[in-house]
Structure 1
Amino acid sequence: MLIDIAMGQPFNISQKQAEILAAVCQILAEPSRRKFSLTDLAQALRLSRAAPYRHFESKTQVCLALIAWCRASVDSMFAEIERETGMEMHEKVLNKVHALLLFAKKNPGIVRILTSEALDDEESRSELNRLWQHIYECMRASVVLIREYERSPLPGSEDAIAVLVVDFIRGAYGRFSAQDFETDVLTGFPAFADLLVHSLSRY
């Protein structure tokens, strides 16, 4: 189920649009359900077939709104972690990875969007790629800060570490979806955290 959809900035949608996005996530959270249509939405919300079109022009617009919601959620999670005091910088990187996994666990249906399984058009896929690039850049910036202030990773390693993080998250999401959310998306996190700490602590 889609949760905590912000109704104001930076993600500005109406209450009815939020209900539609929540319904998409409920549909996509069903076992082996990797696609949806606006007809599916109308049935789930007990509306006429034309009703969803009054709030979104097309399925593409629904997918773009979900991706925008994901980006707003990621930015909110990361900003909250950055505001934490008394935490080492490498711990913040780990917490960001953990937050992304928890986000999937709480919102399994959205994983079908983030793995592109539910996307049928190039515009949505391009926007999804931009979201993953944004996550990569956020992680890279965090590693750069560690290098500058803690002098921890090897110079130039920020690209490799950011790629490592994004690949792990995308792999975890892919397995979570492939197994129809029956396994815990957090299963591989402890081992990955050890690997990441080792990577962040090298001189």
Structure 2
Amino acid sequence: MASSKSGERKTQILQMLAEMLEHPKGERITTAALAARLQVSEAALYRHFASKAQMFEGLIEFIENSVFGLFNVISESEASGLIQARKAILMLLTFAERNKGMTRVLIGDALVSEDERLQGRMNQFLDRIEASLRQCLRNALAANELPATDDIHARASLILHFVLGRWHRYAKSGWKRSPSEHLDVQIQIMLS
């Protein structure tokens, strides 16, 4: 029973941290501020997480599990590599739109004054996204959906940078500029 409550409390802490990250111009997120928002002591936070970096690792783990779980669903449900790529782009942008606080982690904003290993982990995450996009494009190449001369490495990099740019603009606009604005036309350009 205690581990169930402990798991619930950990989830509450991570949800509040993500909620606090939705305010990019708000106060710096400290464990004291987080504890105050949760109406618990800082010591209560440290019963669940050894450090603030560990809390951010919890958010990153949630992001990784969510995104790569969805990549797997897309690759298993779609035979067409181009449709896989299209759905992957839409999924990445929709994830950011639905998880504003996580978007600040995705773009590194929330990690600026935190342990540098967190940014390293996010860099690895982005490398994995690019590798997943390359796989979609390899599938498209194998099915003759793209010309045999297509440079899938360059195309996957372009797509990743497009997504990163959309995430940045969304966060920097104070969540006003939707990452999926004009998306159909732009995906058509990237995948044609």
Q: Which runs of 4+ in 1 moved over 3 A?
A: 153-156
Residues 26-63 of structure 1 show CA distances to partners (whole Å, capped at 9, x for unaligned) of 10112523842211211111111221111111111111
Alignment of 1:44-193 (within 5 A): 44-85=37-78, 88-119=80-111, 120-150=114-144, 152-155=146-149, 157-193=151-187
Deviation, structure 1 residue 147: 1.0
Q: Which moved more, 1:62-71 or 1:185-194?
A: 185-194
* Residue of structure 2 in register with 1:27 after alignment: 20
Unpaired stretches in structure 1, ≥5 consecutive residues: 1-12, 199-203
Percent identical among aligned pairs is 24
- The structure in which a higher percent of residues are helix is 2
Task: Indicate the residue corresponding to 1:3 in structure 2.
Answer: none
Aligned equivalent of 1:16: 9
Q: CA RMSD in A?
A: 1.8
Q: Can you list the C-alpha shifts for 1:82-135, whole angstroms capped at 9, x where unaligned?
A: 2325x6321111011000111011111111111111112211010010000110
Gaps of 5+ in 2: 1-5
Aligned length, in residue pairs? 185
Name the SS of the counterpart of 2:102 in structure 1: helix
Instruction: Show CA shifts across 1:135-187 (max 9, x none).
Output: 01100111111112226244461101110111011101111111111221211
Contact 1:81 1:95 in 2 (8 A): yes
TM-score w.r.t. length of structure 2 = 0.89
